Amino acid sequence: MRRKLALTKVSVKLRKKEFHEGWYLYLDIYPIYQPGSDKPQRIRENLHRDITTPVWDKSQPCKTDKDGTVSYLPKRNQNGIIICRSAVDQESCIFADNVRALRQHEYDNASLYSETDAAQAELNEKGKQNFIQFVKDLSKKKHARSSESIIVNWNRVYDYLCMFAKSDYIPFSLLSQKLMEDFKMYLLTAPRGDKRKGLLSQNTANTYFAIFKCAVHQAFIDGYITVDIAAKVKGVPEEEVRREHLSLEELNQLAQTPCDNPILYRAALFSALTGLRLCDITKLKWAELAKEGEHHRINFDQKKTGGVEDMPISPQAYKLCGEPREPQQLVFEGIPDKSVISRPIKKWIKAAGITKHITFHCFRHTYATIQLTEGTDLFTLSKMMGHTNVRTTQVYAKVVDKKKEAAADAFTIDFGNNTQQEEPDNDISGNSSK
């Protein structure tokens, strides 16, 4: 049944809650003409969303109460969306504006049959679309220029979703808190894949589930679901990982111990002096080394993060590179492959009399820990290591703090029978009770 329409305008407005703080979001639709009546009517549609942090436009007063209190209209952006301080509230306002746009379209085309049918039809249509394909498309759209590791992680989430669903199709209509919780439990018991034995580590599951939550949240933003269920589901707790490293004494001890593979010897100590990852050392070319002033520098693209790094290196580190060769030649040509490098490292570590379990990546941890121990600040170290967030670097600060605590308890004094170190008992006045 069509309704008579005359320049009907749909607006998102606020209504103050009576018993709680905050405001309800609703649609104000005016004018509406009912069949057989020339008197315009106003329709208010509750969106079942409320906010607490709207920004008020002090240049637009709307009413003054009897006690002189002035109320103002909410501030809106250039698209007419109400501006909020809270990100969650802002998403509710974006959702409200999406519904408004849908309603306005319906009225503009004079084809409104009921207040909810069109919206429900639109939602039903979107609900049939494929969430798994949405994840794949979102990865290409969101991370087209991101690092290889980020792209790999998104692709792995796509693969695990397919394994979880036992197909490549999950309709948006099936997205729920329960499905998210079920996928979380699946990741915590999922195989590693790529012919590797064992299950996913808790931290890897944390990374994959965070990506999954990001995709579900984007589905809410794009209007495929009406509730931001991602905000209601907790992520996988991150497990603190022990980052093994060498002390400066142990590093010196290792440097004085011959290694069966001279290239590995130079590359490992180069990592300990620069903090570079094995993947970056392996692809380092002579063209990426240059001398500026008193220091040599390396300028390269990080393989893991995709970031461009320009960092100075010490004379010792440069000496470990060996004799300069052609610009396009590898600096550490002939370094063992990642799959077989652990055995010669283990043999070398054992020959040095070190009992710790040391991998090649531990040389990077060694660099970070020694730098902090010697007084380098976190921000500088973060830049030297190529971290995109200083919080990543803070894990090394915990190691140093533990060393400080151990140092505080490293020795005690034997006072014998002398009790002068004991604090005297004081009376109420603060005087000694002698």
Q: What is the pLDDT of residue 395?
A: 66
Q: Which amino acid is at 45?
A: E
Which residues in 20-47 are b (16+ Cβ under 10 Å) and which e? eeebbbbbebeebeeeeeeeeeeeebeb
Q: 409: which 2 tokens?
A: 């308890």
| pLDDT number for residue 96 | 96
Which residues, 6+ apart, have CB-to-CB distance to 276 below 8 Å?
270, 284, 364
Would the pLDDT of 206 be above 90? yes
Name the residue with tokens 């533990």.
402
Burial of 384 (0-12, 13-18, 19+ CB in 10 A): buried
- Decide: 82 and 74 in contact? Cβ < 8 Å: yes
DSSP-derived pairing of the beta strands 23-33 and 295-301: unpaired
Q: Which tokens belong to 25? A: 């979001």
Q: Please give the pLDDT value at position 174.
A: 93
Task: Dig out the tokens for 273 from the structure.
Answer: 């002096």
pLDDT score, position 430: 47
- Number of Cβ within a 10 Å radius of residue 235: 14
Least confident of 58-62, 167-171, 197-201, 400-404: 400-404
Whether a cis peptide bond, with omega within 30° of 0, leads into 344 is: no
pLDDT category, 291, cuts 50, 70, 90? Answer: confident
pLDDT at 5 over 50: no
Spatial separation of the C-alpha atoms in residues 136 and 154, rounded to whole Å? 8
What pLDDT band is residue 394 in, cutting at 50, 70 and 90?
Answer: low
Tokens representing residue 286 in the block: 């002579």
Query: In Å, how far from its chain's centre is CA 262?
Result: 39
> In the predicted model, what is the mean pLDDT of residues 220-239?
91
Domains, the chain, ranges and CATH? 4-116 (no CATH), 131-232 (1.10.150), 248-408 (1.10.443.10)
Residue 195 binned pLDDT confidence (cut-offs 50, 70, 90): confident
Please tell me whether residue 197 adopts helix, strand or coil conformation. Answer: strand
Phi and psi at residue 305, in whole multiples of 5°?
Answer: -95, -20
Weakest-pLDDT range from 51-65, 138-152, 409-423: 409-423
How far apart are the C-alpha atoms of 239 and 379, rounded to whole Å?
Answer: 24
Residue pLDDT, tens place only, 318-357: 999 999 999 999 999 999 887 789 899 999 999 999 999 9
Please say if the pLDDT value at position 27 is more than 80. Answer: yes
pLDDT per residue over 358-390, tens digit each? 999 899 888 888 888 787 877 777 777 776 666
Average pLDDT over residues 105-123: 65
Are 392 and 365 in contact, with CB atoms under 8 Å apart? no
Q: Which of 254-268, 300-314, 318-332 has the lowest mean pLDDT?
A: 300-314
Ramachandran quadrant class, 125 (left: phi over 0; alpha: psi -120 to 50; beta: rest):
alpha
pLDDT at 12: 96
Q: Residue 425: what pLDDT?
A: 54
pLDDT band of residue 312 (cuts 50, 70, 90) is: confident
**133 or 115, which is more confident?**
133
Q: Are 212 and 164 in contact (CB under 8 A)?
A: no
Question: What would the DSSP string read from start to end of 31-96?
Answer: EEE-TT--S-EEEEEEEEEEES-BPEEEEEEEEE-TTSPEEEEEPB-TTSPBPBSSHHHHHHHHHH
More confident residue, 177 or 247: 177
Q: Rounded to two decimals, what is the model's pTM? A: 0.48
Q: Residue 432: pLDDT above 50?
A: no
How many Å apart are CA 143 and CA 156, to the nearest integer?
A: 14
Looking at residue 220, its pLDDT comes to: 94
Q: Hey, what are 399's tokens?
A: 């190691």
Q: Tokens for 174? A: 């099936």
- Mean residue pLDDT of the chain comes to 83
Q: CA separation (Å) from 298 to 275, 285, 287, 387?
A: 12, 9, 9, 16
Q: Are 382 and 392 in contact (CB under 8 A)?
A: yes
Q: What is the mean pLDDT of residues 17-27?
A: 92
Reading the block at residue 401, the tokens are: 């703090």
CA angle 306, 311, 313 (to 5 degrees): 130
β partners of residue 10: 29
Residue that wins the pLDDT comparison between 149 and 180: 180
Selection from 226-230, 287-291, 423-427 with the highest mean pLDDT: 226-230
- Residue 301 pLDDT greater than 80, yes or no: no
Which of the four pLDDT bands, split at 50, 70 and 90, describes residue 428? Answer: very low
Span 66-91, pLDDT tens digits: 888 888 999 999 999 999 999 999 99
Residues 6+ apart with CB under 8 A from 132: 158, 161, 162, 165, 168, 169, 170
Angle at 312 between CA 309 and CA 316, to 5 degrees: 130
pLDDT tens digits, residue range 144-165? Answer: 777 677 888 999 999 999 999 9
Q: Nearest to residue 397, comparing CAs of 409, 419, 379, 415?
A: 379
Residue 112 burial (10 A CB sphere; 0-12, 13-18, 19+): buried
